[in-house]
Amino acid sequence: MTDPRRPPDEAWREAAESGTRLLEGRQEVVRPSGAGGQTESAVPAHASSLRSVAISRSLHAELLAWALACRPNEACGLLAGDRPVASGGRATRFLALRNAAESPYRYLMDPQEQLGAMLDLDEGDEVVWGIFHSHVASSAEPSVTDLGLAFYADSLYLICSLADREPHVRAWTLSDGQANEVLLRIAD
């Protein structure tokens, strides 16, 4: 069932392309205010400034394969990067993690695996570039739960939908209960 408070796909796409963000069905323009890179928006500059990002074709294939392998449950994992996505960092590898919730409706990264992944990133002088999960039967848009559990404003959230004939991944910045789509380009 679609949440009537969520704008349609086209509104999200228009907002992402025009540099606006959606607030309870209306669009708000996000403009630089000058000093310190702050914006007029409640979303931090690092979240609202992203327009597009690229990941490698092989990394994209890994995300799709993991989402399909975890079906019927949601898949989850972390994307490592050389620096934060908002600082121009690039995704370098995918760390697939077990969904401890074992649910087709939500995910919970296995705490032990997540800790191990975070330590691995720290040892490799890497950062959490992105957070990945799949939606088994719904679109690749953040759910109300996703928005409420978005604690990494410096990271990109990548969601793979398995609801259509072909699985696909979309990217989002999530902050302060708001979602902004970021164009995800697949590079060779």
Domain of 111, in residue numbers: 50-187
Q: What is the CA radius of gyration of the chain?
A: 16
Residue 139 lies in a domain: yes
In a domain, 130, yes or no: yes
Share of the chain above pLDDT 90, in %: 67
9 lies in a domain?
A: no
Q: Which segments of the chain does DSSP mark as H helices, in order? A: 9-18, 45-48, 57-70, 111-123, 144-148
Cross-strand pairs, 52: 183
The total number of structural domains in the chain stands at 1
Question: In this structure, are residues 142 and 174 in contact, taking their beta carbons and an 8 Å threshold?
Answer: yes
pLDDT digits (tens, 9 = 90+) for 113-128: 999 999 999 999 999 9
pLDDT band at 14 (very low <50, low <70, confident <90, very high): low
Report if residue 12 sits inside a domain. Answer: no
Find the CATH number of the domain harbouring 54. Answer: 3.40.140.10
- Percent of the chain with pLDDT strictly greater than 70: 74
pLDDT at 146: 94
For the stretch 67-115, pLDDT in tens is: 999 999 999 999 999 999 989 999 999 999 999 999 999 999 999 999 9
**Inside any domain, residue 125:** yes
Q: What is the pLDDT of residue 50?
A: 83
